[in-house]
A and B are shown apart, each in its own frame.
Chain A
Amino acid sequence: MDKSVVIVDDSKFQTMQLGRFFTDVMGFRVLASGENGEEAVELYRAHKPDLITMDLTMPKLDGRGALAQILQEFPDANVLVISALKGPLLLDCLTLGAKSYIEKPLRFDKEDFIRDFKATIGEILPAS
């Protein structure tokens, strides 16, 4: 069975890019996408995907808040932070239990970026 992912990002363009990457390159099923933290929590509850990607700066509930809430309800949730922010907030998210992070900008035109992205997903979800 293919692995599943929910994408949360307030930029529609980035959601589309991520969706295409997960489908075409990783062979994931993209179950849904959301554009703020509240949607992230609802979508996780509804789908319980193998992976949820989380932008950090979003309207309503931000990524860190959504991440904390999801992990409180589902301690085993695999949350991958995808953000341009690096520093205390990101460190905080990882301490809270995010599995790993990807730095924006999304450079799907760069081999290095794709290699790192694949390796990161491989670490979170080892091929069974």
Chain B
Amino acid sequence: MPIRALETTMDAEGAGFFLLHLDGTVTPSTALAAVIRTAFTGPAMDNGLLSAGPSAASAGIPLSAFLRLNPEQTAQFAKWLELAGKRHGDMRWGKIAALAPVQEIRNGRGEDAGVVRLAYRKLTDSQGGLSAIAVFAMDASPGLAMARQLEVERQRHESQVRDVLALAANPPETVGAFLEDARLRLDGARRDWDDYLEARKKTDGTGPNGRSAPGLWQGLGQSEDGESAGQRLFRELHMVKGNAGAFGFESLAARAQESEDLLDALKDGATGADHAIARLNSSLTGLRAQLEELMRAMKLIAGEGQDAMARILKWKLDRLVAGTGGIDLSKVDPALRPILEATRKLPFLSPAYLLRKYRNLVERVAHNLGKRVHFRITSNTGDIHPESFSRVDEALVHILRNMVDHGLESPAERQALGKGEAEIGFEFVAEEDRVFLRVRDDGRGMDPARIADRGVALGLISRDEADRLDEVGRLGLIFREGFTTRDEAGMVSGRGLGLALAARCVADRGGNIYVYSQPGQGAHFAIELPHIGHKKLY
């Protein structure tokens, strides 16, 4: 089993693995420790099953110790291994794997819990017998967080699509009257709400422990018929909700319902008042914004008829299914698909997602090489459409690996040079039609003259040609296939193919890649790409 090669491959996908032998012992891989470390940031595992990852590969660790299994789980695993050995020939592996007693390992509770998902694959010998089971451990936390975010986004877009359809389904005058009525009601509600906030500020302050003061609520803005501002606010929201529902404006109705619920909670003084007030405030603002969007769409439809209608719908639907292109899933290990799918479905990739993904990669690679590096996003503007991003992701993986392996000095060297902890900075700017990405390190840098000499020595370029190149041109030689500064292929970045592959990825996608560096000053890679998939409304 070429464990080393597998480990390097798994690195790129944020996964580690260990071998589970049929006798119930385990051979861990070094990559595993890094996965666990990045998935379980926070304090020591309080309820985790996984023991701290091993630092060196050593065979013969009992699974029960490795996964901190209790006696019952140990017995279950023994039973499962026996079943796997007996039935793997006549039962599909997926069904057997699904029965493995531990499918995921959690640390912490709720949405912030670190989650490592285990995927069991069988390894067979030349006679088709089961020889061992490879257990892949993937940090599922970002995928899960994104799946949740995606679901919220999806529901929102879906109900907005229904809203647009509702615009078409009702006679324009009626819809117009409803929208105008809703606007007046919401404006009135807003005034009452502002009065309430004002009165609250005067009486009990806005400290963190401020009370919701139901009495104040009741007494506020008493009208002639004895209705309070709170009651009036509630009634208006309720009317907007009812009417929106009747017309089929689902997202509007849902938002009004949300405001109503928040108001209810506030009235009862049930929730933390400040929190409830902030939420209700943004809910009311959102409600109003949504109404305005509908009114704009309405005007557009009234003016341009079916074409505009189709255009708005198309845009909404695009948002709904955004991000379905990119990686060819059929070529990816089935165990990784669910997570990749979850990440692909998210319409736009946020800086937080990029930070997490690349930080994990950089830290894992550095850990394997005994280096330390701090990875951060130094600046960013805008979100990147995944269609564009999938095109540059591979290039970034190669560049980052190369930086950690070749660019950064060892901790001892850095100390001798008086340099602090190594840092890799990532910067991106997403504009309407272009994406710019820059990665820089503060490592040993490159000397253009020496790069040129090396290029000549490797036969990639003649002396004459080398002499005619300027600094940027000489440094650009590192993107040539076959260029390497090491005599022996490094374990992490391989044989000088990484940067050549990165350059090819970028070129294939109609982009440009540059490198700039000075000895001792670190290196700086810049990629420029067309921003594909980015669309504008209207």
> How many angstroms from the CA of A86 to the CA of B97 in the assembled complex?
12
Pick the contact of A91: B79, B90, B91, B92 (CB < 8 A): B79
Q: Is the CB of B83 within 8 A of A94?
A: yes
Give the contacts of B296-310 with A (CB-CB under 8 A): none
> How many angstroms from the CA of A87 to the CA of B102 in the assembled complex?
9
Q: Is the CB of B79 within 8 A of A123?
A: no
CB distance from B83 to the nearest CB of A (A): 6
The prevalent SS among residues of B at the interface is helix
Q: Is the CB of B76 within 8 A of A91?
A: yes
Give the contacts of A88-128 with B (CB-CB under 8 A): 88, 90-92, 94-95, 99-101, 103, 119-120, 123
Q: What residues on A are CB-neighbors of B76 within 8 Å?
A: 88, 91
B458 part of interface (Cβ distance < 8 Å): no
> How many angstroms from the CA of A95 to the CA of B84 in the assembled complex?
10
B95 part of interface (Cβ distance < 8 Å): yes
Q: Please, which residue of chain B has its CB at the minimum distance from the CB of A94?
A: B83
Q: Is the CB of A101 within 8 A of B80?
A: no
Q: Is the CB of B92 within 8 A of A123?
A: yes
Q: What residues on B are CB-neighbors of A91 within 8 Å?
A: 76, 79-80, 83, 99, 101
Q: What residues on A are CB-neighbors of B87 within 8 Å?
A: 94
What mask results when residues 62 to 92 of chain B are scored 1 for a CB within 8 Å of chain A, else 0? Answer: 0000000000100010011011000100111
Q: What residues on A are CB-neighbors of B92 within 8 Å?
A: 119-120, 123
CB distance from A26 to the nearest CB of B (A): 18
Q: What residues on A are CB-neighbors of B90 within 8 Å?
A: 123
Q: A91-B80, A91-B83 are in contact. Are A120 and B99 (CB under 8 A)?
A: no
Q: Is the CB of A123 within 8 A of B91?
A: yes
CB distance from A89 to the nearest CB of B (A): 11
Q: Is the CB of A100 within 8 A of B91?
A: yes
Q: Is the CB of B99 within 8 A of A94?
A: yes
B491 part of interface (Cβ distance < 8 Å): no
Q: What residues on A are CB-neighbors of B95 within 8 Å?
A: 100-101, 120
CB distance from A87 to the nearest CB of B (A): 8
Q: Is the CB of A95 within 8 A of B98?
A: no
Q: What residues on B are CB-neighbors of A101 within 8 Å?
A: 95
> How many angstroms from the CA of A99 to the CA of B91 in the assembled complex?
8
Q: A100-B91, A123-B90, A123-B92 are in contact. Are A90 and B99 (CB under 8 A)?
A: yes
Count residues on chain B whose CB falls below 8 Å from chain A CBs: 14
Q: Is the CB of A95 within 8 A of B79?
A: yes
Q: What residues on B are CB-neighbors of A103 within 8 Å?
A: 98
Give the contacts of B370-386 with A (CB-CB under 8 A): none
Q: Please, which residue of chain A has its CB at the minimum distance from the CB of B99?
A: A91
CB distance from A93 to the nearest CB of B (A): 10
Q: Please, which residue of chain A has its CB at the minimum distance from the CB of B76?
A: A88
Q: Is the CB of A95 within 8 A of B82?
A: yes
Give the contacts of A48-100 with B (CB-CB under 8 A): 86-88, 90-92, 94-95, 99-100
Which residue, A87, A100, A103, has most C-beta atoms of chain B within 10 A?
A: A100
Q: What residues on A are CB-neighbors of B101 within 8 Å?
A: 87-88, 91
Which residue, B76, B83, B99, B101, has most C-beta atoms of chain A within 10 A?
A: B99
CB distance from B92 to the nearest CB of A (A): 7
> How many angstroms from the CA of A86 to the CA of B72 in the assembled complex?
15
Q: Please, which residue of chain B has its CB at the minimum distance from the CB of A119?
A: B92
> How many angstroms from the CA of A123 to the CA of B88 in the assembled complex?
12
What mask results when residues 81 to 122 of chain B are scored 1 for a CB within 8 Å of chain A, else 0? Answer: 011000100111001001101000000000000000000000
Pick the contact of B98: A86, A92, A99, A120 (CB < 8 A): A86
> How many angstroms from the CA of A94 to the CA of B79 in the assembled complex?
10
Q: Please, which residue of chain B has its CB at the minimum distance from the CB of A102?
A: B95
> How many angstroms from the CA of A123 to the CA of B79 in the assembled complex?
22
> How many angstroms from the CA of A88 to the CA of B80 in the assembled complex?
9
> How many angstroms from the CA of A113 to the CA of B192 in the assembled complex?
53
> How many angstroms from the CA of A119 to the CA of B82 in the assembled complex?
23
Q: Please, which residue of chain A has its CB at the minimum distance from the CB of B91?
A: A100
What mask results when residues 312 to 346 of chain B are scored 1 for a CB within 8 Å of chain A, else 0? Answer: 00000000000000000000000000000000000
Q: What residues on A are CB-neighbors of B99 within 8 Å?
A: 86, 90-91, 94
CB distance from A88 to the nearest CB of B (A): 6
> How many angstroms from the CA of A109 to the CA of B79 in the assembled complex?
34
Q: What residues on A are CB-neighbors of B80 within 8 Å?
A: 91
Q: Is the CB of A95 within 8 A of B91?
A: no
Q: Please, which residue of chain B has its CB at the minimum distance from the CB of A126?
A: B90
CB distance from A78 to the nearest CB of B (A): 12
> How many angstroms from the CA of A89 to the CA of B79 in the assembled complex?
11
> How many angstroms from the CA of A123 to the CA of B92 in the assembled complex?
8
Q: Please, which residue of chain A has its CB at the minimum distance from the CB of B72?
A: A88
Q: What residues on B are CB-neighbors of A94 within 8 Å?
A: 83, 87, 99
Q: What residues on A are CB-neighbors of B79 within 8 Å?
A: 91-92, 95
CB distance from A124 to the nearest CB of B (A): 9
Pick the contact of B83: A86, A95, A120, A123 (CB < 8 A): A95
> How many angstroms from the CA of A94 to the CA of B101 in the assembled complex?
14
List 21 contacting pairs A-B, 8 Å CB cutoff, sorted by A: A86-B98, A87-B101, A88-B72, A90-B99, A91-B76, A91-B79, A91-B80, A91-B83, A91-B99, A94-B83, A94-B99, A95-B83, A99-B91, A100-B91, A100-B95, A101-B95, A120-B92, A120-B95, A123-B90, A123-B91, A123-B92
The 7 closest A-B pairs by CB, nearest first: A91-B99, A91-B79, A94-B83, A88-B76, A95-B83, A100-B91, A95-B79
Given contact pairs A86-B99, A95-B83, a sample of 20 additional A-B residue pairs in the complex whose CB atoms are under 8 Å apart: A86-B98, A87-B101, A88-B101, A90-B99, A91-B79, A91-B80, A91-B83, A91-B99, A91-B101, A92-B79, A94-B87, A95-B79, A95-B82, A100-B91, A100-B95, A101-B95, A119-B92, A120-B92, A123-B90, A123-B91
Residues of B with Cβ closer than 8 Å to A?
72, 76, 79-80, 82-83, 87, 90-92, 95, 98-99, 101
Residues of A with Cβ closer than 8 Å to B?
86-88, 90-92, 94-95, 99-101, 103, 119-120, 123
